[in-house]
Amino acid sequence: MNFTLKSKDQNSKARSGLIKTDHGVIQTPIFMPVGTAGTVKSVSQKDLEDQVNAQIILGNTYHLYLRPGLNLLEQIGGIHKFISWKKPILTDSGGYQVYSLSGRRKITEEGVKFKSHIDGSSHFFTPENVMDIQKSIGADIIMAFDECTPYPCDYSYAKSSTQMTHRWLKRCVDSFNNTPNKYNYSQFLFPIVQGSTYSDLRNQSAEVIASFDLPGNAIGGLSVGEPHDLMYKHTEEVCDILPESKPRYLMGVGTPSNLLECIALGVDMFDCVMPTRNARNGMLFTSEGFINIKNKKWENDFSEIDSNGTSYVDKRYSKSYLRHLFISKEMLGPQIASIHNLSFYIWLVEESRKKIEDGTFTAWKNKMVKKLVERL
């Protein structure tokens, strides 16, 4: 993998760049639609390519390991062939999903024993076998196995957890380097900064993670319930430590305004379920604010869904029709809303990239963040 820094904003820490993988080039800043189980919910791969203009999508190790399983994925030649996706894919390690199974898992130094949410069967994840699992899945970028601490979290637990994440990282790297790839393309390992909401732990973790000199670095354990100002504070602290020459990936973030604020702090990559999850509940994000399309105020509004939108659904369908689909519980409603929201998120990072490169990012960002939080 090769990362090229293209431009830097003069009034913030925002930057644009290019990540080269064997499945294609990713322009940064970038948002990655979440395709947890091999699908971005309610959006076809064709629409992801042609309408959303997604450059890379996310899969999840925990879910793909349980279903469809590694034997099937290896049989066809990896996740790209299985889901008919020719562009880059990133897989999360499953650490966050195991963290969310708080009543169904046990963490030890060796790894995590957990019970499947599907059938209650017992499984054991270690740093080593999570590397093997992700090599079998076959994503271009794979994540180290870490422990994501809850919020709030007391200092002593956060410290011991972060130190264990660092020990697990060493095991991940050793395993990754000493086992062959299963397919005829390169895979790249990203480590994850932890440390809860404690600056000293976050900074120490960033220094340890940077010392491994891996192709990119991720920031985890944020956007788990902490106030936005804390998220911004720790993101900025960590970005100041992580090397400028490597892409920085803020995991699980966030709202449109979160993306802009964190791009300004030096983040290059984002993922979040928010655009699709909120879409399925009738919330639309636009450049002028957000809409709850199920509200009665849209019943007789025959205007386009979003006159500034970039996908075909924005111009083809009216707000009134989309509201009707949601009120009638028709499947097409969440599909249209998901395509719209993902297209908007991709437009937002693409526009950020353009503004960084023409030197107007900060002024534009300051105007946009005020509009994005307005309820229409």
Catalytic residues: 92, 271
> Looking at residue 303, what DSSP letter applies?
S
Helices (H) and strands (E) in the chain — how many of each? 15, 17
Q: For residue 350, what are the CA distances in angstroms to 33, 181, 309?
A: 14, 32, 13
- For residues 158 and 166, the answer to whether their CB atoms sit within 8 Å is no
Nearest CA to 54 out of 35, 73, 37, 36 is that of: 35
For 343-352, b where at least 16 C-beta lie within 10 A, e where not — what string? bbbbbbbbbb
DSSP state of 51: I
Secondary structure class of 26 (helix, strand, coil): strand
Helix H or strand E encompassing 162:
helix 155-178
**Cα dihedral across residues 209, 210, 214, 217: positive or negative:** positive
Instruction: Provide, for the chain, the percentages of residues in helix, strand and coil under a 3-state DSSP scheme, each rounded to the nearest 5.
Output: 45, 20, 40
Residue type, 220: G
